[in-house]
């Protein structure tokens, strides 16, 4: 058996994967296809074209394929995350998949049993021996895809996913005499949401910490490097798409490094919350069974022992406000990255960046010369898909009828979709950045053609020295007219201002009129570190 893993599920499929039959080789076959390149002529693995297919033939093809499509593979997965893009997002699978959810449910159930054994008032669950503790920890550490599949098989009977976990653990632990005596204390006083909310919190915390944050940090680091490396490379700004006061390429990259760092900080400060207060948040069953136990304190200790923060005021569910904050912050991080992708796309279009080509790659099926900015386009597209899902999560999850409805359950199963498309986009952006080469000649060419950008410093100096109507004079001289180096110099020479000021203005060129841009770019890492 071969295991095909999915960001939303793990499913066994038979090996080899589905195959399709092709007609036998024919010596005359290539005569009908003169357009085939020489490397494919005579190949048995060729596409057979038909200009007409009857309905009977269509029905036959669909019937033949149906059995192949029953098995999940990279070709039959509905989500491209589980098919085409699996190799780029699979590191999320241990956390955000169905397997990940089941694993963390198992962990929570076992840890709760261990916690019960530490409460003196619960004499029915005495302290476990080191051997018993080791056995229970071994169930967690050794949890496998086969174990998860066994739980899924139990669920086919129970039609309840959390109850299936409880039954699995009771069955699994019968072989340990000490644990076997307290099997009914698995899931003691718990509602399913006690288990699920902690599992979801752990899934998100581990996925963000182990996978997402490191990739986000790589993007920010790459932008800091771009900022420092190009701190002194002057660039024509564009506001409203029109030439504006010059900047440097490095300073523009620094802006995005700082913006993304700010959102990265917001994400890192989100508290991952958990509840463990029973069916409606009041410890009703707990208090009846063991009235002398301080259950709110026990619940807080237990939730914190898992590395989560405790939420004491809840209905049946954890209210998901922290999730809304997390997903909203992810959306904002993604929005900033879309802005970056679009800006770089535009700079490539202007010729400010060249792209390193890779042998064998094709940019267009009909235009051989094309080298398209596909990495930034793929990133932008996937960020849009991610934000659609994450926005729904952030708006829907805090809303639940009365003490609980089930609408959050199916929605929570899609957390991996938004996060997965975000990860895919981040990797595309990084890949695109790695292909960029600065074209300083093209940057300089644009600056040399835009002497009108010096109108701003000239009119500002004129204001300092009391020249009347400086803005209006420069507007008359530059707006809608061709402005050259000579015309600007002539204008400056005619100004009634001190000679020192006039000399400084005459020294200005579009590529030196960059203000504090160089220093801002050079010190970007300090700004990021402060965040």
**Six-digit token pair at 76?**
């039959």
Instruction: Give CA separation, 76 vs 67, 68, 303, 329, in Å.
Output: 11, 9, 40, 33
Q: Which residues contact 328 (CB under 8 A, 6 or more apart)?
A: 390, 391, 394
Backbone φ and ψ of 529, nearest 5° = -65, -35
Contact 491, 497 (CB under 8 A): no
CA distances from 287 to 107, 301, 310, 313 (A): 25, 17, 19, 17
| Cα separation, 325 vs 309, whole angstroms | 15
Instruction: Identify any residues that bridge with 10 across adjacent strands, giving them in sequence order.
Output: 5
Return d(Cα 81, Cα 89) in angstroms, integer. 7
Task: Clarify whether 364 is annotated catalytic.
Answer: yes
Token pair of 26 as six digits: 């024919």
Instruction: Examine residue 16 and say whether the peptide bond preceding it is cis (omega within 30 degrees of 0).
Output: yes
Kindly name the residue from 28, 39, 240, 526 that is annotated as catalytic.
Answer: 240
Which of 240-269 are b and which e, b meaning 16 or more Cβ less than 10 Å from the residue's Cβ?
A: eeebebbbbbbbbbbbbbbbbbebbebbee
* Residue of 127, 144, 268, 364 marked active site: 364
- Catalytic positions are 240, 364
């Amino acid at each position: 058996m071969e295991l095909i893993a999915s960001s939303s599920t793990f499913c066994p499929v038979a090996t080899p994967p589905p195959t399709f039959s092709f007609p036998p080789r024919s010596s005359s076959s290539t005569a009908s296809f003169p357009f085939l390149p020489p490397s494919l002529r005579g190949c048995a693995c060729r596409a057979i074209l038909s200009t007409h297919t009857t309905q009977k033939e269509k029905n036959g093809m669909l019937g033949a394929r149906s059995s192949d499509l029953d098995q999940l593979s990279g070709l039959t997965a509905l989500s491209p995350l589980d098919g085409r893009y699996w190799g780029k997002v699979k590191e999320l699978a241990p956390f955000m998949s169905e397997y990940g959810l089941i694993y963390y449910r198992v962990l929570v159930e076992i840890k709760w049993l261990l916690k019960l054994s530490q409460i003196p008032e619960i004499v029915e669950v005495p302290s476990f021996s080191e051997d018993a503790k080791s056995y229970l920890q071994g169930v967690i550490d050794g949890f496998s895809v086969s174990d998860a599949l066994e739980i899924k098989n139990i669920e086919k009977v129970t039609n309840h996913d959390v109850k299936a976990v409880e039954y699995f653990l009771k069955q699994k632990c019968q072989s340990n005499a000490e644990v076997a005596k307290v099997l009914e204390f698995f899931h003691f006083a718990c509602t399913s949401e006690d288990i699920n909310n902690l599992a979801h919190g752990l899934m998100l915390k581990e996925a963000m910490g182990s996978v997402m944050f490191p990739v986000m940090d790589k993007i920010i680091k790459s932008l800091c490097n771009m900022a420092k490396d190009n701190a002194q490379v002057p660039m024509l700004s564009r506001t409203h798409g029109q030439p504006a006061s010059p900047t440097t390429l490095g300073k523009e990259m620094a802006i995005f490094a700082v913006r993304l760092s700010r959102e990265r900080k917001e994400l890192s400060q989100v508290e991952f919350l958990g509840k463990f207060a029973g069916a409606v948040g009041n410890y009703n069953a707990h208090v009846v069974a063991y009235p002398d136990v301080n259950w709110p304190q026990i619940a807080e200790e237990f939730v914190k022992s898992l590395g989560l923060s405790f939420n004491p005021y809840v209905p049946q569910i954890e209210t998901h406000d922290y999730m809304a904050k997390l997903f909203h912050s992810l959306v904002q991080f993604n929005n900033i990255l879309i802005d970056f992708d679009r800006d770089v796309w535009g700079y490539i279009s202007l010729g400010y960046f060249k792209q390193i080509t890779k042998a064998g790659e094709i940019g267009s099926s009909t235009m051989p010369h094309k080298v398209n900015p596909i990495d930034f386009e793929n990133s932008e597209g996937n960020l849009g898909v991610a934000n659609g899902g994450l926005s729904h999560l952030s708006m829907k999850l805090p809303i639940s009828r009365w003490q609980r409805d089930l609408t959050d359950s199916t929605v929570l199963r899609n957390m991996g979709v938004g996060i997965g498309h975000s990860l895919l986009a981040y990797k595309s952006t990084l890949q695109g950045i790695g292909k960029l080469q600065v074209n300083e000649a093209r940057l300089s060419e644009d600056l040399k053609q835009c002497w009108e950008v010096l109108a701003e410093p000239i009119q500002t100096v004129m204001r300092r020295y009391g020249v009347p109507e400086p803005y209006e004079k420069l507007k008359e001289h530059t707006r809608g007219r061709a402005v050259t180096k000579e015309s600007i110099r002539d204008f400056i020479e005619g100004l009634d201002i001190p000679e020192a000021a006039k000399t400084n203005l005459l020294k200005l060129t579009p590529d030196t009129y960059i203000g504090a841009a160089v220093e801002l770019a050079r010190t970007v890492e300090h700004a990021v570190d402060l965040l």
